[in-house]
């Protein structure tokens, strides 16, 4: 049931555009979902995309604007007048409209706001603009259905009909007092099955989950997931109901947060996509590489210290990449599992138990790996028993320490309120490279003496 964009389809659209066949294009796009039209526009060049945008009605274009990649949206908005942009925003919900305005250049913002048609809508949007985008205030929309605790069900239903006109999806009906403070909620289901004469105060549920405008967005996501909520009301400093957040907004937050952790683990420091510009991609990737390179200098320096080993035990140097890689791999595994536990809030028990468990686990893995390495070095790679023993003992030691660093580092960062995902990726592989090589040659020196 999902629409699949084919190359042929894109080619046909490009042809229609070049031949200016407006009506056929409108007919072709008529039954296609706006999310799919946005994807089609991303396959076209900026001029063609703008053409399509102009032949569709504003109900569709406002949805398309929201579905587009930021980059392409920017290009299309640039070709629109403040009045035209305002027309698009009039069709949007308050939170979406506020997000679009926040992206506009400073001088455009005010002009667009003044062109907004509906005063109530404009007021709500301006209101939303003052919240930080990473907070509940930045996520919430103003569209909600609220009733006064002093009404009865009949008044309530009448009022709701009016309010529902402006609300795309009715999630919950919130109950407030005369000062607008959140008191509880009414479920739609209760409303379907309750007689119209009942006073609201008798039917509403006094227990209601809520967040404050200043609650961080990831916290909102965690709470909604944990308590399995589809919408959550937002209150201000005085306890007044000022907005609501729906689960679809939170899905984006969850996805972004998971993507960010993944990127950090891979050594990419900003929220970039494969289709971003080379400059953006460089900015996201180069800093980590420079850090890793500087770490590499240290490994060169460390190996230099052990130069005397080259005379009688040069083969030790053949094993450095192996030892370093194993240290890196074990470190990343250990840290990843902690980072994820922290992100999902599934860590329980004390730090000591965790470290002891990690050491046991790594010793178990280490013993097996060291046995393979011992046998492999001797029989497969033809090295002497002394070398085989040296590298095997070093391997166990190195990976136990690597796993301890990997476990400890994200916990430490988290303690200091730094994103623990920073600890994975190039950061941990580099520091484990250095430690690993230092330990390896120190052990070799003790066993072989050079």
Interface residues for a second copy in 137-196 (CB under 8 A)? 157, 160-161, 164-165, 167-170, 188-189, 192-193
Instruction: Tally Cβ neighbours within 10 Å of residue 179.
Output: 8
Residue 115: CB minimum distance to a second copy, A? 27
Instruction: Tally Cβ neighbours within 10 Å of residue 421.
Output: 24
> Which CB atom, from 19 or from 271, has the smaller least distance to a second copy?
271
* Contact by Cβ (8 Å): 291, 273: no
Q: Say whether residue 238 binds a second copy (CB under 8 A).
A: no
Restricted to residues 292-311, the positions that interact with a second copy (CB under 8 A) are 292-293, 295-297, 299-301, 303-304, 307, 310
Q: Which residue has the tokens 């109950």?
A: 175
> x/- site string to a second copy, residues 356 to 385, per CB under 8 A?
-x--xx--xx--xx--xx--xx--xx----
* Contact by Cβ (8 Å): 280, 354: no
Residue 347: CB minimum distance to a second copy, A? 6
* Contact by Cβ (8 Å): 399, 369: yes
Of 314, 352, 416, 417, which one interacts with a second copy (CB under 8 A)?
314
Residue 29: CB minimum distance to a second copy, A? 14
Structure tokens at 195: 């007689």
Instruction: Tally Cβ neighbours within 10 Å of residue 355.
Output: 15
CA quadruple 252, 255, 257, 259: dihedral sign: negative
Q: Strand 173-176 to strand 145-148: parallel, antiparallel, or no bridges (unpaired)? A: parallel
**Segment lying near a second copy (by CB under 8 A), choices 49-57, 81-89, 120-128, 202-210:** 202-210
Restricted to residues 385-444, the positions that interact with a second copy (CB under 8 A) are 424-426, 429-430, 433, 437
Of 180, 199, 216, 341, which one interacts with a second copy (CB under 8 A)?
341
Residue 128: CB minimum distance to a second copy, A? 19
Of 28, 129, 322, 448, which one interacts with a second copy (CB under 8 A)?
322
- Residues 119 and 368: their CA atoms lie apart, in Å, by 71
Q: Say whether residue 125 binds a second copy (CB under 8 A).
A: no
Residue 129: CB minimum distance to a second copy, A? 23
Of 129, 337, 404, 438, which one interacts with a second copy (CB under 8 A)?
337
Q: Say whether residue 226 binds a second copy (CB under 8 A).
A: yes
- Residues 450 and 445: their CA atoms lie apart, in Å, by 6
Residue 111: CB minimum distance to a second copy, A? 29
- Residues 302 and 304: their CA atoms lie apart, in Å, by 5
Structure tokens at 380: 């497969």
> Which CB atom, from 20 or from 346, has the smaller least distance to a second copy?
346
Residue 367: CB minimum distance to a second copy, A? 11
Structure tokens at 156: 């309530």
Cβ burial 382-405 (10 Å sphere, 16+ → b, else e):
ebeeebbbbbbbbbbbbbbbbbbb
Residue 436: CB minimum distance to a second copy, A? 9
- Residues 354 and 431: their CA atoms lie apart, in Å, by 21
Residue 139: CB minimum distance to a second copy, A? 15
The single-letter DSSP state of residue 378 is I
Restricted to residues 253-292, the positions that interact with a second copy (CB under 8 A) are 254-255, 258-259, 261-263, 265-268, 272-275, 278, 281-282, 285-286, 288-290, 292
Residues 6+ apart with CB under 8 A from 157: 191, 196
**CA distance readout (Å), 409 to 298, 347, 420:** 20, 15, 8
**Segment lying near a second copy (by CB under 8 A), choices 81-89, 111-119, 124-132, 217-225:** 217-225
- Residues 438 and 7: their CA atoms lie apart, in Å, by 55
Q: Say whether residue 324 binds a second copy (CB under 8 A).
A: yes
> Which CB atom, from 86 or from 339, has the smaller least distance to a second copy?
339
Structure tokens at 343: 């992100």
> Which CB atom, from 135 or from 430, has the smaller least distance to a second copy?
430
Restricted to residues 10-39, the positions that interact with a second copy (CB under 8 A) are 31, 33, 35
- Residues 306 and 323: their CA atoms lie apart, in Å, by 15
Q: Say whether residue 318 binds a second copy (CB under 8 A).
A: yes
> Which CB atom, from 326 or from 393, has the smaller least distance to a second copy?
326
């Amino acid at each position: 049931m999902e629409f699949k964009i084919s190359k042929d389809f894109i080619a046909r659209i490009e042809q229609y555009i070049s031949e200016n066949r407006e009506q056929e294009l409108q007919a072709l796009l008529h039954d296609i979902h706006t999310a799919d039209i946005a994807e089609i526009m991303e396959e076209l060049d900026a001029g063609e995309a703008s053409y399509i945008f102009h032949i569709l009605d504003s109900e569709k274009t406002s949805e398309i604007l929201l579905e587009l990649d930021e980059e392409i949206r920017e290009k299309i908005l640039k070709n629109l007048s403040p009045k035209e942009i305002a027309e698009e925003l009039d069709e949007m919900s308050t939170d979406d409209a506020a997000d679009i305005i926040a992206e506009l250049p400073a001088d455009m913002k005010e002009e667009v706001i003044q062109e907004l048609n509906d005063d109530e809508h404009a007021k709500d949007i301006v209101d939303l603009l003052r919240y930080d985008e990473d907070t509940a205030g930045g996520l919430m929309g103003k569209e909600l259905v609220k009733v006064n605790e002093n009404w009865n069900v009949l008044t309530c239903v009448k009022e709701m009909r009016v309010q529902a006109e402006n609300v795309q999806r009715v999630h919950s009906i919130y109950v407030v007092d005369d000062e607008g403070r959140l008191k509880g909620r009414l479920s739609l289901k209760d409303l379907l099955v309750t007689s119209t004469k009942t006073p609201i105060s008798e039917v509403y549920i006094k227990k209601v989950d809520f967040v404050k405008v200043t609650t961080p967005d990831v916290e909102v996501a965690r709470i909604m997931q944990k308590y399995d909520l589809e919408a959550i009301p937002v209150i201000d400093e005085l306890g007044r109901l000022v907005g609501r957040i729906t689960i679809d907004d939170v899905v984006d937050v969850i996805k972004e947060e998971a993507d960010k952790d993944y990127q950090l683990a891979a050594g990419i420091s900003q929220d970039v996509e494969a289709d971003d510009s080379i400059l953006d991609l460089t900015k996201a990737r180069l800093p980590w590489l420079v850090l890793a390179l500087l770490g590499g200098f240290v490994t060169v320096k460390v190996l230099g210290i052990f130069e005397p080993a080259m005379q009688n035990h040069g083969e030790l140097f053949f094993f450095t990449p192996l030892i370093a890689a194993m240290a890196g791999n074990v470190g990343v595994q250990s840290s990843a599992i902690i980072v994820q536990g922290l992100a999902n809030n599934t860590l329980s028990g004390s730090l000591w138990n965790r470290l002891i468990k990690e050491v046991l686990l790594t010793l178990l893995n280490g013993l097996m790996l060291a046995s393979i390495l011992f046998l492999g070095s001797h029989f497969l790679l033809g090295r002497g028993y002394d070398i085989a023993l040296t590298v095997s003992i070093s391997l166990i030691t190195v990976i136990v320490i690597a796993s301890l660093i990997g476990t400890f580092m994200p916990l430490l960062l988290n303690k200091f309120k730094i994103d623990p995902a920073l600890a994975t990726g190039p950061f941990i592989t580099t520091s484990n490279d250095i430690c690993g090589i230092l330990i390896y040659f120190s052990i070799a020196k003790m066993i072989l003496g050079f």
